A and B are shown apart, each in its own frame.
Chain A
Amino acid sequence: MKEENIEKLLTKLANNTIENTRPDLAEEIKQNIPKKFGLHKNPLGTINIIIDLRVNKLAAAAAIIITMFLFANFFAASNSQTDGLYNEGRMLIKYCLGRTNKTENIKLSVMPILYEDLRQKGKDVIYYGSSIDTQDSNAVLMQWKIGDGQYKVIFPDLSTRTVNAEELIDLLAKMIEKQKL
């Protein structure tokens, strides 16, 4: 069979392969076109980047928090911003760890960073580190002065509280007393 004949047959086939569409197809297509669609995309629109890394939750949380602190330092964030970062980091840790007791590990990596950050900002900060009993929820893990007789205190469960000088002395006294026992 010659190729010209094939071409003729193809044309014939095309003329004989016509099918009526479903009557409501056009309406369905029209309905699926979003009526409020933004035709011209905003160049500053959101870009979603998803990175699928199979890493330990703990390592991921630590990496995120360290990055946040580094950014805060790089852009010379204010103290309130650093505090905000700390609080968000704390929530992140709790979320990542599923409220388990693994917080011990994360503290070891996060707390020294926070300590260094506050110290560089000229804060009068004290970090008690591994000298405290982490099972004691009232033990003071870190403290720094935030204003007139006011201190910010971080506890082993990573919760924070603002206390006055008297309350701080009381907390420290109880902590030392328990350590002696």
Chain B
Amino acid sequence: MSLFAHLIIGNKGSDRSNENLDEKNDSLIKRLKAGDCNAADELVDNYYEQIYLFMRRLGHRRQVAEELVQETFLAAWQHIEQLRRAKAINCWLYRIASNVSSRYWRKNKNNKAVSINGIYSISDQEISYEQPEAREQLNRLANAVRLLPVKLRQAVVLHYMQHLTIAEAAQAAEVRQGTLKSRLNRALKALRKQMTEEFGDI
């Protein structure tokens, strides 16, 4: 089972499997710091899917997202000496990915974020069984997320979509936990306002 699959399943795994994961990551970090190229390949295999999805959820187009994922792993390899703890590997990668993404938005101010409702695939059938209104709601929400300012969108994606805890998301966004909470609050208010205008008080 890839690490991505593990994360998709969520935090339901036993403590035992978490310990195993930490041990695995410890060994991975040691090998990465020693310059082991096989370890670099392992890092890519374990994390590229979730970093790709992160980029897509931040509103990058498919091709751009692929380029940014490559850039993220290259930067990770170049700055591996900054990684200290095995547990931090996830946050550390998200931090690099967030920086890579922010740099892209700064350089390409005219490029607009694409809505995440355009990347339904695995669960598409599941949605279609639901009422059309529910689907419409999700589409509207996806569009509202797309329109959020970059920092608020980043906070929402890290916490609600990539399932990072507040502490982890704050670390990934390189802000204090209070700042991240404040960003999430502002984002939720903006999203609620947008959704209430369209769907009323549900």
Contacts and interface: CB of A to CB of B under 8 A. Distances in A.
Given A9-B141, A18-B121, A19-B53, A33 B77 contact: yes
Contacts, number: 116
B80 to A, nearest CB: 6
A30 interface: yes
Contacts of A2: 192, 202
B71 to A, nearest CB: 9
B192 to A, nearest CB: 5
B52 A9 contact: no
B44 to A, nearest CB: 5
Contact of B126 (A1, A16, A34): A16
B33 A13 contact: no
Contact of B48 (A18, A20, A26): A26
Interface string B154-168: 001000111100000
A21 B119 CA distance: 11
A37 interface: yes
A25 B72 CA distance: 13
Given A1-B195, A26-B44, A19 B119 contact: yes
A63 interface: no
Interface stretch (B34-42, B104-112, B171-179): B34-42
Contacts of B145: 10, 13
A39 B33 contact: yes
Given A10-B156, A33-B77, A22 B66 contact: yes
A33 B74 contact: yes
Contact of B199 (A1, A16, A21, A25): A1
Interface residues of A, number: 32
Contacts of A3: 188-189, 192
A35 interface: yes
Interface in B98-142: 116-117, 119-124, 126-127, 137-138, 141-142
B57 interface: yes
Contacts of B33: 39
Secondary structure type dominating chain A contacts = helix
Contacts of A48: none
Nearest to B33: A39
A33 B40 contact: yes
Interface in A135-158: none
B142 A13 contact: yes
Given A25-B48, A30-B41, A39-B80, A20 B188 contact: no
Interface in B38-89: 40-41, 44-45, 48-49, 52-53, 56-57, 66, 69-70, 73-74, 77-78, 80-81
Interface of A: 1-3, 5-7, 9-22, 25-26, 28-30, 32-35, 37, 39-40
17 contacts: A1-B201, A16-B120, A16-B124, A17-B119, A18-B119, A18-B121, A18-B122, A19-B122, A20-B121, A29-B69, A30-B44, A32-B70, A33-B40, A33-B74, A39-B33, A39-B35, A39-B81
